Amino acid sequence: MPARLPIASNVLAVPFSSAPLIAGGTAGHSMTELRVRDLFSLSGVLGLMVGTMAFFMHIFANGMDVSNLDTSLRVGGLVGISMTVVTLSYTSVRYVERSRRLAEAKVDVDPLDRLQMLLHPIEESAASLPWANERPWTIMSHVRRDRGVLTVDLHDLDLQQSKIVVEHIIASREWLGRVRVVTGRGLNSKSTPKLRPMAIERFRQVTRELNWELLLKKGSLTLRPIGDAPTLTKWLLRFIFLGGPITVAFAFAFRDLAGEGAYDQGLRVGIVLGILLSGLLASYRERQ
C-alpha cells in the first residue's frame, strides 16, 4: 500500500511505495546481488587472463625460444596465481564491508522524492517571476534524475532563488549523494553571467569540509562524494587481511621472475611491492 510522509501543509506530498525500496536494498539504487562464488569466478578469470599474457610475454622476451616453455609456464602460472590472490583478497574485503552496510541499511525515501519535497517552496516562489508563465520552474521538470544522477536545473530561477537552492543542496549533503547542478553558461544573460560563478564559488567553499569532489563541465557542475578516509583501526584490519596473501604471492612471483642467481633480490622486491600494494588497497575510500 502506498505510504505518505508526514509533511508540512505547504509542501507537496509525493506518494511512494516501500516495496521497490526493500527489494533494492537501499533507496533509489538497484543493487545487483553478488555471491561468494562470483568473487572466485572473477578472480580466477582475471588471473587466467593475466597469467596467459605473462606466459606469452616471457616467450617473446626470450626470443621465441621454445626450449624454455617450462620456465614460461611457471612464470605465467605464478603471475596468474598472484593476480588471482590479489583480486580475491581485495574483492573479499569489499564484499564483507558491503554486506555489513546492506545489513545495517534502513529503508528510506528516494532521494529524488525527498529533494523535490524540499525544493517545493522554491516552485511556489518562482511562480511570481516575470517569465513564469512562459518558462515556469517546477520540481517535476527541473528536479529530476538524468541517467541515474540527481539533477537540479537552475534555469528559470533568479539569482536569489538559485542561492537558496544551492544552500539546500549543501545542507542535504548527508543523504543527497551525487548530484548534478545545471547552471547554464550565461549566454542569454543581458549582463555578466551570475548563476554559474555564484554556484561554483559557494560549492568550492564547502567541498573539502563535506568530502565532495567538484567536477566542472560546460553549463553544469557535478558534486561527487569521495567518502571518508578509513579510520586507523579499519586501515589496519584491511592491511592485515590483504597484506599476507598479497605479499607472499608477490614474493614468490618476483623471485621466479628474477631467475637463478637473483632469487634473494627478487624475493625482497616482491615483499616490498606486496606491502606497498596492500597499504594502497587498504586506504581506499568508501564511495557514498
For the chain, the domains span: 36-104+231-282, 111-225
**Distances from the Cα of 285 to the Cα of 29, 92, 179, 201, angstroms:** 20, 16, 19, 26
pLDDT band at 103, cuts 50/70/90?
low
- Is residue 10 over pLDDT 60? no
pLDDT greater than 90 at residue 7? no
Percent of the chain beyond pLDDT 70? 81
pLDDT at residue 124, as a whole number = 92
Q: How far is the C-alpha of 50 from the C-alpha of 46, rounded, in Å? A: 6
- Position 69 scores a pLDDT of 76
What are 41-79's pLDDT values in tens digits?
Answer: 878 888 888 888 878 777 777 666 667 778 878 888 888
CATH level 2 (architecture), domain 111-225: 2-Layer Sandwich (3.30)
Calculated CA dihedral for residues 159, 161, 165, 166, nearest 10 degrees: 30
Which pLDDT value is given to residue 139?
93
State the Cα–Cα distance between residues 85 and 198, nearest whole angstrom.
49
**Span 113-124, average pLDDT:** 92
Query: How far apart, in whole angstroms, are the C-alpha atoms of residue 20 and residue 109?
Result: 11
DSSP 8-state secondary structure symbol assigned to residue 212: E
Q: How confident is the model at residue 232 (pLDDT cuts 50, 70, 90)?
A: confident
Is the pLDDT at 180 greater than 90? The verdict is: yes
Q: Residue 105's pLDDT is what? A: 58
User: 64 or 209: which carries more pLDDT confidence?
Assistant: 209
Sign of the torsion formed by the C-alpha atoms of 77, 79, 80 and 86: positive
Q: Which residue has the higher pLDDT, 96 or 236?
A: 236
- Residue corresponding to grid cell 523535490: 116
Mean model confidence pLDDT for the chain:
79
Asked whether residue 24 carries a pLDDT value surpassing 70, the answer given is no
Task: Give the integer Cα–Cα distance in Å for 27 and 114.
Answer: 11
pLDDT of residue 21: 34
Rounded to an integer, the average pLDDT of 96-108 is 68
> If you average pLDDT over residues 206-213, what whole number do you get?
86
Q: Output the pLDDT for position 234.
A: 84
Position 104 confidence tier, pLDDT thresholds 50, 70, 90: low
For the stretch 128-178, pLDDT in tens is: 999 989 999 999 999 999 988 999 999 999 999 999 999 999 999 888 888
Query: What is the mean predicted confidence (pLDDT) over 67-94?
Result: 81
- 264 vs 120, higher pLDDT: 120
Separation CA 115–CA 139 (nearest Å): 9
Where are the extended beta strands (E) located within the chain? 25-26, 29-30, 143-146, 149-153, 179-182, 212-217, 220-225
pLDDT at 211: 84
Burial group, residue 164, by CB count within 10 angstroms (0-12, 13-18, 19+): middle
Residues near 216 by beta carbon (within 8 Å), at least 6 away in sequence: 200
CB contact at 8 A, 239 and 247? no
Per-residue pLDDT band at 25 (split at 50, 70, 90): very low
What pLDDT, on a 0 to 100 scale, did the predictor assign at position 1?
Answer: 43
Predicted confidence band of residue 16 (pLDDT cuts 50, 70, 90): very low
